[in-house]
Amino acid sequence: MDIYVPGMRDRRIAASDESHSSGVQGGSRRPIFGDGTAARRAGDAAHGVFDLRRYRTGRDPRIISTVVLHQTAVASVRSLPPVATDHDIASEHVFDHMIAHFVVCADGSLVYTHDVEHILNDAGGRFGIDIEFEGDFGNDPEPAEPRLGTAAIEAGRRLLLWLDGYLPALSHIHPHGQVQRGAGGKLHSCCGPDIWMNIGEWAVRRLGWICDTPVASYPNHGISPRQRNTAYDRQLP
């Protein structure tokens, strides 16, 4: 599904050459696409360049109800190469190999990495969109550097505003830790209070989305008080 957002680069083709993540998120290489999807099956067997455009997508975007917010937990990744590389199927840039539909860069640029019609192997699952914010942000009771910058906050909000227009069923937003599966250990750390308070809680106020009770297909560990910490709210309008 083509999605236009001001300031967003479309690197879906550049991101289609790999079926496994770079390992930046959580340190281990994991399949990018959801279990049972055509892309996952094709990726398991693929050798060499893996052209995702050749495989069918896994869902109708009209079923997408939920946004899940993450942080990359890496201090600084690597700025994107020039726009001319956005369609380079052999890209090895780490953003292109993240398990995310969108990446919000620290400098406020946005990247569309994996088509929302593909189900990813992350907390968003069948009904969700996974958004990664570049950075390594803490969750101590008192905010400490590094903090999520204004440019990234504004970009993240802009992305959600446009997604709200494109995807009619969007109605819920959660920090990864709230809807994590298994023994994830992300309850406090992902996406962390800086992103949750300035993006997630903003979407609840501004877009009327729901955060406390996920739709039925997700577990609900609740939003940890370390994530819902008003000390992190930048009070941006």
Residues that bind Zn ion (CB under 5 A): 70, 176, 190
Q: How far is the CB of 217 from Zn ion (least distance, A)?
A: 17
Q: Which is nearer to Zn ion, 40 or 176 (CB)?
A: 176
The residues with which 189 forms a beta bridge, in sequence order, are: none
Q: How far is the CB of 113 from Zn ion (least distance, A)?
A: 15
Q: How far is the CB of 82 from Zn ion (least distance, A)?
A: 29
Q: How far is the CB of 68 from Zn ion (least distance, A)?
A: 7
Q: Which is nearer to Zn ion, 21 or 37 (CB)?
A: 21
Q: Which is nearer to Zn ion, 24 or 190 (CB)?
A: 190
Q: Which is nearer to Zn ion, 50 or 179 (CB)?
A: 179
Q: How far is the CB of 185 from Zn ion (least distance, A)?
A: 11
List of residues 6+ apart from 157 with CB closer than 8 A: 199, 202, 203, 206
The β-bridge relationship of strands 110-112 and 102-104 is antiparallel
Q: Which is nearer to Zn ion, 64 or 68 (CB)?
A: 68
Q: How far is the CB of 119 from Zn ion (least distance, A)?
A: 16
Q: Which is nearer to Zn ion, 10 or 180 (CB)?
A: 180
